[in-house]
A and B are shown apart, each in its own frame.
Chain A
Protein backbone atom coordinates (compact mmCIF):
# COMPACT_ATOMS: atom_id res chain seq x y z
CA UNK A 1 0.00 0.00 0.00
CA UNK A 2 1.32 3.42 -0.99
CA UNK A 3 0.53 6.96 0.00
CA UNK A 4 1.51 10.30 -1.43
CA UNK A 5 3.65 12.53 0.81
CA UNK A 6 4.03 16.26 0.55
CA UNK A 7 6.53 17.18 3.26
CA UNK A 8 5.43 20.86 3.44
CA UNK A 9 8.76 22.14 4.71
CA UNK A 10 9.39 25.84 5.20
CA UNK A 11 12.20 25.78 2.62
CA UNK A 12 9.96 24.20 0.00
CA UNK A 13 7.76 21.19 -0.61
CA UNK A 14 9.01 17.87 -1.92
CA UNK A 15 6.53 15.27 -3.10
CA UNK A 16 7.34 11.58 -2.75
CA UNK A 17 5.57 8.24 -2.40
CA UNK A 18 5.75 6.23 0.80
CA UNK A 19 5.51 2.44 0.70
CA UNK A 20 3.88 1.33 3.92
CA UNK A 21 4.62 -2.34 3.25
CA UNK A 22 8.39 -1.91 3.06
CA UNK A 23 8.84 1.37 4.97
CA UNK A 24 10.36 3.05 1.89
CA UNK A 25 10.31 6.66 0.86
CA UNK A 26 10.31 6.59 -2.94
CA UNK A 27 11.41 9.53 -5.11
CA UNK A 28 9.50 10.38 -8.28
CA UNK A 29 12.43 9.38 -10.48
CA UNK A 30 11.63 7.18 -13.50
CA UNK A 31 15.05 5.51 -13.13
CA UNK A 32 14.20 4.35 -9.61
CA UNK A 33 13.01 0.73 -9.57
CA UNK A 34 10.58 1.29 -6.69
CA UNK A 35 8.97 4.18 -8.56
CA UNK A 36 8.45 1.80 -11.49
CA UNK A 37 6.93 -0.72 -9.06
CA UNK A 38 4.49 1.99 -7.93
CA UNK A 39 3.43 2.51 -11.56
CA UNK A 40 3.11 -1.28 -12.03
CA UNK A 41 0.92 -1.49 -8.94
CA UNK A 42 -1.32 1.30 -10.24
CA UNK A 43 -1.61 -0.47 -13.61
CA UNK A 44 -2.42 -3.80 -11.94
CA UNK A 45 -4.55 -2.74 -8.97
CA UNK A 46 -5.72 0.78 -9.68
CA UNK A 47 -6.88 2.75 -6.66
CA UNK A 48 -6.74 -0.36 -4.43
CA UNK A 49 -2.95 0.02 -4.04
CA UNK A 50 -3.17 3.61 -2.86
CA UNK A 51 -4.19 5.10 0.44
CA UNK A 52 -6.37 7.92 -0.84
CA UNK A 53 -6.75 9.10 -4.40
CA UNK A 54 -3.98 8.45 -6.90
CA UNK A 55 -2.43 11.83 -7.76
CA UNK A 56 -2.97 12.92 -11.35
CA UNK A 57 0.71 12.98 -12.31
CA UNK A 58 1.26 9.45 -11.00
CA UNK A 59 -1.85 8.20 -12.79
CA UNK A 60 -0.66 9.85 -15.99
CA UNK A 61 2.77 8.22 -15.67
CA UNK A 62 1.14 4.83 -15.07
CA UNK A 63 -1.15 5.32 -18.08
CA UNK A 64 1.83 6.19 -20.28
CA UNK A 65 3.75 3.14 -19.10
CA UNK A 66 0.77 0.88 -19.77
CA UNK A 67 0.30 2.44 -23.21
CA UNK A 68 3.96 1.74 -24.08
CA UNK A 69 3.73 -1.82 -22.78
CA UNK A 70 0.60 -2.47 -24.85
CA UNK A 71 2.20 -0.88 -27.90
CA UNK A 72 5.28 -3.09 -27.60
CA UNK A 73 3.13 -6.21 -27.12
CA UNK A 74 0.92 -5.24 -30.07
CA UNK A 75 3.94 -4.82 -32.36
CA UNK A 76 5.31 -8.22 -31.33
CA UNK A 77 1.91 -9.84 -31.85
CA UNK A 78 1.30 -8.32 -35.28
CA UNK A 79 4.81 -9.32 -36.36
CA UNK A 80 4.05 -12.89 -35.26
CA UNK A 81 0.75 -12.92 -37.16
CA UNK A 82 2.51 -11.62 -40.27
CA UNK A 83 4.62 -14.78 -40.40
CA UNK A 84 3.38 -17.50 -42.75
CA UNK A 85 1.16 -20.33 -41.52
CA UNK A 86 3.36 -23.41 -41.41
CA UNK A 87 0.43 -25.72 -42.29
CA UNK A 88 -0.15 -23.75 -45.51
CA UNK A 89 3.39 -22.92 -46.51
CA UNK A 90 4.30 -19.82 -48.45
CA UNK A 91 4.12 -18.89 -52.12
CA UNK A 92 7.04 -17.47 -53.99
CA UNK A 93 6.82 -13.75 -54.72
CA UNK A 94 8.80 -12.09 -57.49
CA UNK A 95 9.09 -8.55 -58.72
CA UNK A 96 10.82 -6.75 -61.55
CA UNK A 97 13.81 -4.71 -60.40
CA UNK A 98 16.34 -2.58 -62.34
CA UNK A 99 19.69 -4.26 -62.93
CA UNK A 100 21.54 -0.96 -62.87
CA UNK A 101 22.11 -0.99 -66.60
CA UNK A 102 20.27 1.31 -68.98
CA UNK A 103 19.53 1.11 -72.70
CA UNK A 104 18.39 3.72 -75.19
CA UNK A 105 14.79 3.35 -76.34
CA UNK A 106 14.64 4.55 -79.92
CA UNK A 107 10.86 4.91 -79.85
CA UNK A 108 10.70 7.12 -76.77
CA UNK A 109 14.17 8.56 -77.35
CA UNK A 110 14.96 8.07 -73.63
CA UNK A 111 17.30 5.94 -71.55
CA UNK A 112 15.44 3.12 -69.80
CA UNK A 113 16.36 0.77 -66.98
CA UNK A 114 17.04 -2.84 -67.88
CA UNK A 115 14.77 -4.90 -65.62
CA UNK A 116 15.05 -8.43 -64.37
CA UNK A 117 12.85 -10.65 -62.24
CA UNK A 118 13.95 -11.02 -58.63
CA UNK A 119 12.56 -13.44 -56.03
CA UNK A 120 11.67 -11.27 -53.04
CA UNK A 121 9.98 -14.00 -51.00
CA UNK A 122 11.08 -17.59 -51.31
CA UNK A 123 8.52 -20.38 -51.40
CA UNK A 124 8.20 -22.66 -48.40
CA UNK A 125 6.40 -25.98 -48.60
CA UNK A 126 3.72 -26.65 -45.99
CA UNK A 127 4.84 -29.05 -43.28
CA UNK A 128 3.26 -32.49 -43.02
CA UNK A 129 -0.13 -32.23 -41.31
CA UNK A 130 0.54 -35.22 -39.10
CA UNK A 131 3.48 -37.21 -37.82
CA UNK A 132 3.63 -40.82 -36.72
CA UNK A 133 5.45 -41.84 -33.59
CA UNK A 134 6.05 -45.03 -31.66
CA UNK A 135 4.45 -45.20 -28.24
CA UNK A 136 5.88 -47.58 -25.68
CA UNK A 137 3.87 -49.10 -22.86
CA UNK A 138 5.46 -47.79 -19.67
CA UNK A 139 3.97 -50.61 -17.62
CA UNK A 140 5.19 -53.34 -19.95
CA UNK A 141 8.68 -52.74 -21.33
CA UNK A 142 8.55 -55.99 -23.33
CA UNK A 143 5.42 -55.00 -25.27
CA UNK A 144 5.72 -53.98 -28.90
CA UNK A 145 5.45 -50.21 -29.44
CA UNK A 146 2.26 -48.94 -31.02
CA UNK A 147 2.20 -46.43 -33.85
CA UNK A 148 0.32 -43.24 -33.10
CA UNK A 149 -0.52 -40.47 -35.56
CA UNK A 150 -0.74 -36.98 -34.11
CA UNK A 151 -0.88 -33.46 -35.40
CA UNK A 152 2.54 -32.21 -36.41
CA UNK A 153 3.96 -30.51 -33.27
CA UNK A 154 5.30 -27.70 -35.45
CA UNK A 155 1.71 -26.93 -36.51
CA UNK A 156 0.48 -27.25 -32.92
CA UNK A 157 3.04 -24.71 -31.74
CA UNK A 158 2.32 -22.38 -34.66
CA UNK A 159 -1.42 -22.46 -34.01
CA UNK A 160 -0.95 -21.81 -30.29
CA UNK A 161 1.43 -18.91 -30.86
CA UNK A 162 -0.85 -17.37 -33.50
CA UNK A 163 -3.84 -17.70 -31.18
CA UNK A 164 -1.91 -16.00 -28.39
CA UNK A 165 -0.83 -13.22 -30.73
CA UNK A 166 -4.39 -12.77 -32.01
CA UNK A 167 -5.66 -12.56 -28.43
CA UNK A 168 -3.12 -9.81 -27.75
CA UNK A 169 -4.23 -7.91 -30.85
CA UNK A 170 -7.90 -8.30 -29.92
CA UNK A 171 -7.27 -7.01 -26.41
CA UNK A 172 -5.31 -3.99 -27.54
CA UNK A 173 -7.21 -0.69 -27.22
CA UNK A 174 -7.82 1.17 -30.47
CA UNK A 175 -5.67 4.23 -29.54
CA UNK A 176 -2.70 1.89 -29.10
CA UNK A 177 -3.37 0.26 -32.48
CA UNK A 178 -3.60 3.68 -34.07
CA UNK A 179 -0.19 4.61 -32.66
CA UNK A 180 1.50 1.44 -33.94
Chain B
Protein backbone atom coordinates (compact mmCIF):
# COMPACT_ATOMS: atom_id res chain seq x y z
CA UNK B 1 0.00 0.00 0.00
CA UNK B 2 1.30 3.45 -0.79
CA UNK B 3 0.78 6.30 1.70
CA UNK B 4 0.94 9.82 0.39
CA UNK B 5 1.97 12.56 2.86
CA UNK B 6 1.82 16.24 2.14
CA UNK B 7 3.59 19.00 4.16
CA UNK B 8 3.11 22.74 3.84
CA UNK B 9 5.83 24.43 1.88
CA UNK B 10 8.44 26.37 3.85
CA UNK B 11 10.47 29.35 2.82
CA UNK B 12 14.09 28.38 3.42
CA UNK B 13 15.27 31.99 3.17
CA UNK B 14 12.95 33.08 6.01
CA UNK B 15 14.02 30.17 8.20
CA UNK B 16 17.68 31.08 7.73
CA UNK B 17 16.95 34.74 8.48
CA UNK B 18 15.36 33.70 11.79
CA UNK B 19 18.65 32.11 12.80
CA UNK B 20 20.36 35.51 12.52
CA UNK B 21 18.85 36.80 15.78
CA UNK B 22 20.75 39.67 17.50
CA UNK B 23 22.10 37.38 20.20
CA UNK B 24 25.21 38.48 22.13
CA UNK B 25 27.80 36.31 23.86
CA UNK B 26 25.78 36.22 27.08
CA UNK B 27 22.63 35.34 25.18
CA UNK B 28 24.42 32.52 23.39
CA UNK B 29 25.66 31.21 26.72
CA UNK B 30 22.10 31.21 28.05
CA UNK B 31 20.90 29.33 24.99
CA UNK B 32 23.68 26.79 25.33
CA UNK B 33 22.93 26.14 29.03
CA UNK B 34 21.77 22.59 29.58
CA UNK B 35 19.83 23.13 32.81
CA UNK B 36 17.88 25.89 34.56
CA UNK B 37 20.50 25.72 37.35
CA UNK B 38 23.21 26.55 34.81
CA UNK B 39 21.16 29.53 33.60
CA UNK B 40 20.59 30.55 37.23
CA UNK B 41 24.33 30.58 37.81
CA UNK B 42 25.07 32.41 34.57
CA UNK B 43 22.95 35.41 35.46
CA UNK B 44 23.84 35.32 39.14
CA UNK B 45 20.26 35.00 40.20
CA UNK B 46 19.24 34.70 43.86
CA UNK B 47 20.98 36.04 46.95
CA UNK B 48 24.58 36.62 46.07
CA UNK B 49 26.56 38.72 48.52
CA UNK B 50 28.01 36.54 51.25
CA UNK B 51 29.32 39.63 53.03
CA UNK B 52 27.12 41.57 55.44
CA UNK B 53 27.01 45.37 55.31
CA UNK B 54 29.11 45.40 52.12
CA UNK B 55 27.83 48.91 51.43
CA UNK B 56 28.50 50.14 54.96
CA UNK B 57 24.90 51.13 55.67
CA UNK B 58 24.86 49.94 59.28
CA UNK B 59 26.97 51.46 62.04
CA UNK B 60 25.46 50.48 65.38
CA UNK B 61 28.62 51.20 67.36
CA UNK B 62 28.45 54.91 66.72
CA UNK B 63 28.94 57.78 64.32
CA UNK B 64 32.32 57.56 62.63
CA UNK B 65 31.61 60.18 59.96
CA UNK B 66 34.39 62.37 61.33
CA UNK B 67 37.85 60.92 60.76
CA UNK B 68 39.30 59.62 64.02
CA UNK B 69 42.06 57.31 65.18
CA UNK B 70 41.40 53.69 64.21
CA UNK B 71 41.93 50.80 66.61
CA UNK B 72 43.40 47.71 65.01
CA UNK B 73 41.21 44.61 65.05
CA UNK B 74 38.36 46.49 66.73
CA UNK B 75 34.89 46.18 65.26
CA UNK B 76 33.90 49.44 63.63
CA UNK B 77 31.01 49.88 61.16
CA UNK B 78 29.05 46.68 61.54
CA UNK B 79 30.93 43.46 60.68
CA UNK B 80 34.08 45.33 59.54
CA UNK B 81 37.42 45.66 61.31
CA UNK B 82 40.55 47.60 60.42
CA UNK B 83 43.90 45.85 60.77
CA UNK B 84 47.00 47.98 61.14
CA UNK B 85 50.57 46.70 60.83
CA UNK B 86 53.24 49.05 62.22
CA UNK B 87 51.46 52.19 60.96
CA UNK B 88 48.64 54.16 62.55
CA UNK B 89 45.57 55.28 60.64
CA UNK B 90 42.34 57.20 60.84
CA UNK B 91 39.02 55.62 59.98
CA UNK B 92 36.05 57.46 58.53
CA UNK B 93 32.58 56.31 57.59
CA UNK B 94 31.46 58.48 54.68
CA UNK B 95 27.80 58.66 53.76
CA UNK B 96 26.09 59.39 50.45
CA UNK B 97 29.14 59.19 48.20
CA UNK B 98 28.82 58.89 44.44
CA UNK B 99 30.45 55.66 43.27
CA UNK B 100 30.01 54.54 39.68
CA UNK B 101 26.77 56.49 39.46
CA UNK B 102 25.38 55.03 42.70
CA UNK B 103 24.87 56.95 45.94
CA UNK B 104 26.31 54.77 48.68
CA UNK B 105 28.26 54.81 51.93
CA UNK B 106 31.99 54.14 51.98
CA UNK B 107 34.67 53.20 54.50
CA UNK B 108 37.97 55.07 54.41
CA UNK B 109 41.29 54.36 56.09
CA UNK B 110 44.13 56.91 55.91
CA UNK B 111 47.64 56.40 57.26
CA UNK B 112 48.71 58.85 59.94
CA UNK B 113 52.28 57.62 60.22
CA UNK B 114 55.01 56.41 57.88
CA UNK B 115 56.67 53.01 58.10
CA UNK B 116 57.01 49.68 56.36
CA UNK B 117 53.70 48.09 57.23
CA UNK B 118 50.11 47.86 56.05
CA UNK B 119 46.59 49.00 56.73
CA UNK B 120 43.54 47.05 55.71
CA UNK B 121 39.85 46.56 56.23
CA UNK B 122 38.38 43.09 56.61
CA UNK B 123 35.33 41.02 57.44
CA UNK B 124 35.25 37.53 58.95
CA UNK B 125 32.65 35.31 57.31
CA UNK B 126 30.51 32.97 59.38
CA UNK B 127 29.00 30.81 56.65
CA UNK B 128 32.22 30.25 54.73
CA UNK B 129 31.69 26.49 54.40
CA UNK B 130 29.35 27.04 51.46
CA UNK B 131 32.45 28.28 49.58
CA UNK B 132 34.71 25.28 50.31
CA UNK B 133 36.13 23.75 47.15
CA UNK B 134 34.24 26.23 44.97
CA UNK B 135 35.04 29.23 42.82
CA UNK B 136 34.58 32.46 44.74
CA UNK B 137 34.75 36.03 43.45
CA UNK B 138 35.48 39.10 45.53
CA UNK B 139 34.84 42.56 44.15
CA UNK B 140 34.78 46.13 45.41
CA UNK B 141 34.92 49.68 44.21
CA UNK B 142 38.03 51.32 45.59
CA UNK B 143 39.40 54.86 45.49
CA UNK B 144 43.01 55.23 46.54
CA UNK B 145 46.36 56.94 46.09
CA UNK B 146 48.11 53.65 46.90
CA UNK B 147 48.22 50.35 44.95
CA UNK B 148 45.77 48.55 47.22
CA UNK B 149 44.20 45.21 46.34
CA UNK B 150 41.58 42.73 47.45
CA UNK B 151 42.36 39.28 48.82
CA UNK B 152 40.96 36.65 51.12
CA UNK B 153 42.40 34.75 54.07
CA UNK B 154 41.51 31.07 54.38
CA UNK B 155 42.66 30.54 57.95
CA UNK B 156 46.19 29.60 56.90
CA UNK B 157 47.28 31.91 54.10
CA UNK B 158 46.33 34.84 51.89
CA UNK B 159 44.71 33.80 48.63
CA UNK B 160 43.04 35.30 45.58
CA UNK B 161 44.91 38.59 45.28
CA UNK B 162 43.26 40.98 42.84
CA UNK B 163 45.12 43.31 40.53
CA UNK B 164 46.39 46.46 42.23
CA UNK B 165 44.50 49.73 42.18
CA UNK B 166 46.28 52.20 39.82
CA UNK B 167 46.66 54.62 42.75
CA UNK B 168 45.29 57.51 40.73
CA UNK B 169 42.79 58.76 43.29
CA UNK B 170 39.84 57.59 41.18
CA UNK B 171 37.21 54.92 41.75
CA UNK B 172 38.02 51.56 40.15
CA UNK B 173 36.34 48.19 40.46
CA UNK B 174 38.77 45.52 41.66
CA UNK B 175 37.88 41.86 41.32
CA UNK B 176 39.48 38.51 41.94
CA UNK B 177 38.29 34.94 41.45
CA UNK B 178 39.82 31.97 43.24
CA UNK B 179 38.99 28.48 44.42
CA UNK B 180 38.74 28.12 48.19
CA UNK B 181 40.55 25.01 49.37
CA UNK B 182 38.06 22.39 50.51
CA UNK B 183 39.90 22.00 53.83
CA UNK B 184 40.01 25.72 54.69
CA UNK B 185 39.08 26.49 58.26
CA UNK B 186 37.97 30.11 57.82
CA UNK B 187 37.38 32.85 55.29
CA UNK B 188 37.86 36.58 55.60
CA UNK B 189 37.63 39.23 52.87
CA UNK B 190 40.17 42.07 52.77
CA UNK B 191 40.68 45.45 51.13
CA UNK B 192 44.36 46.05 51.78
CA UNK B 193 47.67 47.72 51.09
CA UNK B 194 49.27 44.35 51.90
CA UNK B 195 50.48 42.68 48.71
CA UNK B 196 52.10 39.42 49.83
CA UNK B 197 54.32 41.55 52.08
CA UNK B 198 54.37 44.79 54.03
CA UNK B 199 55.38 47.82 52.04
CA UNK B 200 56.37 51.45 52.48
CA UNK B 201 53.42 53.44 53.81
CA UNK B 202 53.54 57.22 53.98
CA UNK B 203 51.32 59.54 56.01
CA UNK B 204 48.37 60.48 53.80
CA UNK B 205 48.19 57.19 51.92
CA UNK B 206 44.55 56.17 51.93
CA UNK B 207 41.90 53.97 50.43
CA UNK B 208 38.15 54.23 50.40
CA UNK B 209 36.08 51.12 49.77
CA UNK B 210 32.49 50.77 48.58
CA UNK B 211 30.09 48.06 47.44
CA UNK B 212 32.23 45.14 48.62
CA UNK B 213 30.86 41.78 47.53
CA UNK B 214 31.92 38.16 47.88
CA UNK B 215 29.95 35.66 45.83
CA UNK B 216 30.07 32.15 44.49
CA UNK B 217 31.05 31.80 40.84
CA UNK B 218 33.69 33.23 38.59
CA UNK B 219 31.93 36.45 37.62
CA UNK B 220 31.80 39.67 39.64
CA UNK B 221 28.13 40.51 39.25
CA UNK B 222 26.72 43.97 40.09
CA UNK B 223 26.49 44.73 43.81
CA UNK B 224 23.45 43.19 45.48
CA UNK B 225 21.65 46.00 47.27
CA UNK B 226 19.73 45.02 50.38
CA UNK B 227 17.52 47.29 52.46
CA UNK B 228 18.82 48.91 55.64
CA UNK B 229 16.44 46.81 57.71
CA UNK B 230 17.69 43.62 56.16
CA UNK B 231 21.37 44.52 56.63
CA UNK B 232 20.66 45.59 60.21
CA UNK B 233 18.98 42.27 61.00
CA UNK B 234 21.91 40.38 59.49
CA UNK B 235 24.39 42.48 61.49
CA UNK B 236 22.43 42.07 64.73
CA UNK B 237 23.17 38.37 64.67
CA UNK B 238 26.70 39.45 65.62
CA UNK B 239 26.23 42.69 67.53
CA UNK B 240 23.27 44.51 69.04
CA UNK B 241 23.25 47.85 70.77
CA UNK B 242 20.20 48.60 72.92
CA UNK B 243 19.32 52.24 73.37
CA UNK B 244 19.97 55.36 71.36
CA UNK B 245 22.54 56.69 73.84
CA UNK B 246 20.77 60.05 73.85
CA UNK B 247 19.98 60.41 77.54
CA UNK B 248 16.29 60.20 76.69
CA UNK B 249 15.42 58.09 79.78
CA UNK B 250 14.30 55.24 77.51
CA UNK B 251 13.65 52.02 79.38
CA UNK B 252 16.23 49.59 78.03
CA UNK B 253 15.27 46.49 80.01
CA UNK B 254 12.63 45.68 82.59
CA UNK B 255 12.46 43.15 85.40
CA UNK B 256 12.30 43.03 89.18
CA UNK B 257 14.32 43.56 92.33
CA UNK B 258 15.27 40.02 93.30
CA UNK B 259 17.33 41.30 96.20
CA UNK B 260 17.61 44.63 97.98
CA UNK B 261 20.57 45.57 95.77
CA UNK B 262 20.11 43.06 92.96
CA UNK B 263 17.86 43.75 89.99
CA UNK B 264 17.39 41.16 87.26
CA UNK B 265 16.09 42.69 84.04
CA UNK B 266 15.59 41.27 80.59
CA UNK B 267 14.38 41.91 77.08
CA UNK B 268 13.66 39.77 74.06
CA UNK B 269 16.04 40.27 71.14
CA UNK B 270 14.72 40.84 67.63
CA UNK B 271 17.41 38.58 66.14
CA UNK B 272 18.81 35.29 67.42
CA UNK B 273 22.49 36.00 68.01
CA UNK B 274 25.33 33.80 66.69
CA UNK B 275 26.53 32.86 70.18
CA UNK B 276 25.66 33.77 73.74
CA UNK B 277 26.81 37.39 73.66
CA UNK B 278 29.31 39.26 75.77
CA UNK B 279 27.50 41.99 77.70
CA UNK B 280 28.58 45.55 78.37
CA UNK B 281 26.50 48.07 80.29
CA UNK B 282 27.43 51.65 79.47
CA UNK B 283 28.30 54.06 82.27
CA UNK B 284 25.21 56.15 81.47
CA UNK B 285 22.75 53.39 82.35
CA UNK B 286 20.87 53.83 85.63
CA UNK B 287 18.33 51.63 87.43
CA UNK B 288 15.00 52.44 89.04
CA UNK B 289 12.53 50.90 91.47
CA UNK B 290 9.70 52.68 93.26
CA UNK B 291 11.24 51.96 96.65
CA UNK B 292 14.88 52.83 95.92
CA UNK B 293 14.27 55.45 93.22
CA UNK B 294 16.92 56.13 90.59
CA UNK B 295 20.14 54.38 91.51
CA UNK B 296 23.53 53.69 89.92
CA UNK B 297 24.58 50.39 88.43
CA UNK B 298 27.61 49.28 90.42
CA UNK B 299 28.21 45.92 88.78
CA UNK B 300 26.59 43.52 86.37
CA UNK B 301 26.83 40.01 85.04
CA UNK B 302 25.27 38.42 82.00
CA UNK B 303 22.37 36.00 82.10
CA UNK B 304 21.85 36.27 78.37
CA UNK B 305 20.91 33.53 76.00
CA UNK B 306 21.17 33.85 72.24
CA UNK B 307 17.67 35.31 71.98
CA UNK B 308 17.11 37.00 75.34
CA UNK B 309 19.16 39.81 76.85
CA UNK B 310 19.16 39.35 80.60
CA UNK B 311 21.29 41.07 83.22
CA UNK B 312 21.81 40.66 86.90
CA UNK B 313 22.82 44.08 88.23
CA UNK B 314 24.20 45.20 91.54
CA UNK B 315 22.88 48.64 92.37
CA UNK B 316 23.14 51.29 95.04
CA UNK B 317 20.24 52.01 97.40
CA UNK B 318 17.88 49.52 98.99
CA UNK B 319 14.88 48.24 97.06
CA UNK B 320 11.84 46.31 98.17
CA UNK B 321 12.23 42.78 96.89
CA UNK B 322 9.72 41.90 94.20
CA UNK B 323 9.16 45.44 92.97
CA UNK B 324 9.35 46.14 89.27
CA UNK B 325 12.75 47.44 88.15
CA UNK B 326 14.07 49.03 84.97
CA UNK B 327 17.40 49.96 83.46
CA UNK B 328 17.23 53.20 81.52
CA UNK B 329 19.33 55.50 79.39
CA UNK B 330 20.24 58.29 81.81
CA UNK B 331 22.96 60.12 79.88
CA UNK B 332 26.15 59.75 77.86
CA UNK B 333 27.00 56.08 77.28
CA UNK B 334 23.47 55.11 78.18
CA UNK B 335 23.42 51.91 76.15
CA UNK B 336 23.80 48.18 76.54
CA UNK B 337 25.98 46.18 74.12
CA UNK B 338 25.65 42.54 73.17
CA UNK B 339 28.61 41.16 71.23
CA UNK B 340 28.60 37.76 69.51
CA UNK B 341 31.12 38.62 66.78
CA UNK B 342 33.42 36.06 65.24
Contact = CB atoms under 8 A, between A and B. Distances in A.
Interface of A: 5, 7, 9-11, 14, 16, 18, 22-27, 29, 31-34
Interface stretch (B30-38, B115-123, B142-150, B299-307): B299-307
A31 B280 contact: no
B275 A29 contact: yes
Contact of B304 (A11, A22, A23, A27): A27
A55 to B, nearest CB: 14
Interface in B261-286: 262, 264, 274-281
A33 B259 contact: no
Nearest to B282: A23
Contact of B275 (A5, A7, A24, A31): A31
Contacts of B342: 33
Given A9-B264, A10-B258, A25-B280, A16 B275 contact: no
Contacts of A22: 280
Given A10-B259, A25-B301, A32 B276 contact: yes
Interface in B132-161: none
Contact of A25 (B274, B278, B340, B341): B278
A27 B276 contact: yes
24 contacts: A7-B262, A7-B301, A9-B312, A10-B259, A11-B258, A11-B264, A14-B312, A23-B281, A24-B278, A24-B339, A25-B278, A25-B300, A26-B278, A26-B302, A27-B276, A27-B277, A27-B278, A27-B279, A29-B276, A31-B276, A31-B340, A33-B339, A34-B278, A34-B339
A24 B279 contact: yes
B311 to A, nearest CB: 8
Nearest to B337: A24
A7 B299 CA distance: 10
Contacts of B259: 9-10
A7 B275 CA distance: 21
Nearest to A29: B276
A62 to B, nearest CB: 18
A25 B301 CA distance: 5
Nearest to B185: A72
A31 B306 CA distance: 11
Contacts of B278: 24-27, 32-34
Contacts of A24: 278-280, 339
A7 B303 contact: yes
What are the 10 closest A-B residue pairs judged by CB atoms, nearest first?
Answer: A31-B275, A29-B276, A25-B302, A27-B276, A7-B312, A25-B279, A34-B278, A5-B301, A16-B301, A7-B301
A9 B262 contact: yes
Among A5, A7, A16, A32, which residue has the most Cβ atoms of chain B within 10 A?
A7
A5 B304 CA distance: 14
A67 B237 CA distance: 31
Interface in B303-322: 303-304, 311-312
A25 B338 CA distance: 10
A33 B258 contact: no
Given A7-B312, A9-B258, A9-B262, A32 B303 contact: no
Nearest to B300: A25
Contacts of B311: 25
Contacts of B302: 14, 16, 25-27
A14 B311 CA distance: 10
A3 to B, nearest CB: 11
Contacts of A9: 258-259, 262, 264, 312
A11 B255 CA distance: 13
A22 B71 CA distance: 14
Contacts of A7: 262, 301, 303, 312
A32 B239 CA distance: 12
A126 B308 CA distance: 63
B301 A14 contact: yes
A98 B110 CA distance: 66
A98 to B, nearest CB: 31
Contacts of B264: 9, 11
A27 B279 CA distance: 8
A65 to B, nearest CB: 15
Contacts of A10: 258-259
Contacts of B277: 27, 32
A31 B272 CA distance: 14
